[in-house]
Chain A
Amino acid sequence: MMGRSRWSWFLMLPALLWLGVFFVVPLGMTALAAFARRGEPLEWTFSMAAWAELGRGGFGVVARDPDDAAAGWRFQNEALAVGWRTFWVSVATTAGALLIGFPAALFMVRRPARWRRVLYGLIMLPLVANSLILAYAWVTLLRRDGLVEKFLRTLGVLGEDGSLGLIYTPSAVVLGMIYWYLPFMVYPVYSSLEKFDWRLMEAAADLGATAWQRLVHVLWPLALPGIMTGCLLVFVQAAGTLVFPELLGGSKTRLLGPLIHDKFLSYPENYPLGSALALALMILTTLGVWQALRVSGERKDNSVS
């Protein structure tokens, strides 16, 4: 028994070592860098300067435009404002992907095997094209006098000089990300639905449950682990996105990804502040992971009992 156990650890050792050196240590260094002194680019001397900078401006809110109350409010603190926006953009992307992805996965599972493969390929198709190029295809569609506006003009829905103002908005960023991250939602949801025993649905129907009740009380709880995995994958990736805000957002609103990027790959570099922001992003996504694990864990316990 001892021998087998030793062998087993030996088999896992190379992978664990690799992750240790190229994942745990770098992340640990990032955490340390957030408490280091800013040099050109970094000195390993303890300093809280990055955190002081991160908290600058306090946590209050100010009017977006002092002369115009309708413009709403914003956080005065840069990190908070950007983090807040990043959070909502990620939530919207996740919700959108779920709204499209769940019915799609449900539809796929109910088709015969041959059809399933075709539909599956269709969902995965965008993944094999390059994400940057696809973002640009969206620009072609959404831009001023672009294909969508031209199409609506031909239909007469939109006036000759009218514009929907679709491009270069946060909504365009969300749309592009829903499109790109959809496969990451569909794949796990589909996998969990595939294992679903459809006789349960019939049983529920026999017991007099309506279609809605069956969906909410039977299908949804059992598909929940897959849904949670999908939501996590989409949320985490959306929260750290780098290129969509620039290409589809017209670089007009800051998200955490580009902000962090600039702290490392733009002069004057600020590795400590960038690291602190990265930690903030990690906290944001970890909260999401923890919450998702808790929800799906609870469900699992309920379904077992």
Chain B
Amino acid sequence: MRLSRLLAIFCLATASVTAAPAQTLKLLVWEEYLDPSVLKAFTKETGIKVVEDNFDDNEGLMAKTGTGKSGYDIVSPSDYAVQIMVRRKLLAELDHAALKNLKNLSPDFTDLYYNRGQKFAVPYTWGTSGLAYNKKKVKNPPASWADMFEVGRLQPLKGRISMLDDAREVAATALLALGLDPNTGKPGDLEKAAVLLRRQKPFLAKYDSASAEDSLASGETWLAQGFSGDIATAQAENPDIAYVLPKEGVSFFIDNLCILQESKNKAAAHVLLDYLMRPEVALVSMNAMKFASTNQAIKAEEIDASLRGSAALMLPAREKRVLFMDPGQEMGDAVEALFNDLKN
């Protein structure tokens, strides 16, 4: 009967653990978004515990929180995802009285189409998804998206190219190359884009969002579509990596901090948001994660040397910035179908 005693102990052990501490904030944010030390320091200062989970694309985030019963308090959707989540009534209105540090944010990234008056979202980081290449291997570097569909140019790089594993980002490259608007997405436009992408696919090693920068830095791939912060990470490890903002325009994104409507800890969530907007706190995440901060109170000389001149801080001219918008169900499905069809 030793077994039963063991079971009793086990039951007691699990019972004691389920009694959770009173105030815990649950975060669902981008991977490579907040430096873990920041959250530790926050808990030390305020006594509020923080648990962090990650997601790797906006579509995943929206699906996870879409039911309104996800159990999270704070999320970090990008621009168009904020628009969708506001429409679906998933986000809580922000209490500006509790967010004294809002004034630190650069006007370059505030009051945009999805977020008039910062009603639902605090813009926190920004970035682009452009083209990165290995200077030693790519003799004839691309300057435009159109270059990415030129067979003669791709031939010598066959099996050394990666594109993001993200339907919208990939579709946008072809649409931009064709001089079309990635946001309107008429069915005919997408069909034209599909022809280009289908032609490009045999030259690709893979579609990869997760470790594209690792493959690039380690020399496995030579040319990659990538997010600026990730590429900056690769550049810090491999000085041969260069980054270009293609001339037709480039997908530009702002990742925000938002509080979910379902959150039962809204007051504590505001405390954390305000804390994260302190310049010295934002700086820590920026230096570690290499995604540019929207915080204009950060002193330029404090920014890590590896970031200066890197992909992370290459801000495209205003007219070249392509901000994605809510595609709506129909176009969302169409883009998804295009990507699936590409993989057939």
Contacts and interface: CB of A to CB of B under 8 A. Distances in A.
Whether chain A touches chain B in the assembled complex (some CB pair under 8 Å): yes
A165 B208 CA distance: 17
B84 interface: yes
A281 to B, nearest CB: 16
Contacts of B64: 265
A305 interface: no
Contact of B63 (A165, A254, A265): A265
A74 interface: yes
A251 B88 CA distance: 30
Contacts of B117: none
Interface stretch (A176-184, A221-229, A266-274, A289-297): A266-274
Chain B interface bracket (under 10, 10 to 19, 20 to 34, 35 or more): 35 or more
B341 interface: yes
Given A250-B207, A252-B201, A267 B63 contact: yes
Max chain B Cβ within 10 angstroms of own Cβ: one of A246, A264, A266: A266
Contact of A250 (B62, B208, B329): B208
Contact of A267 (B84, B340, B344): B84
Nearest to A249: B206
Contacts of B336: 262, 266, 268
B207 A41 contact: no
A253 interface: yes
Contacts of B219: 145
B207 A266 contact: no
Interface string A85-108: 100000000000000000000000
Interface residues of A, number: 31
Contact of B332 (A78, A82, A145, A268): A268
Contacts of A144: 159-160, 205, 220-221
Contacts of B343: 251-254
A200 B81 CA distance: 68
Contact of A165 (B159, B201, B207, B337): B159
B67 A41 contact: yes
Given A74-B344, A145-B219, 5 more contacts: A78-B341, A145-B220, A250-B204, A252-B201, A259-B340
Interface of B: 57-64, 66-67, 81, 84, 88, 159-160, 162, 165, 198, 201, 204-208, 219-221, 329, 332-333, 336-337, 340-341, 343-344
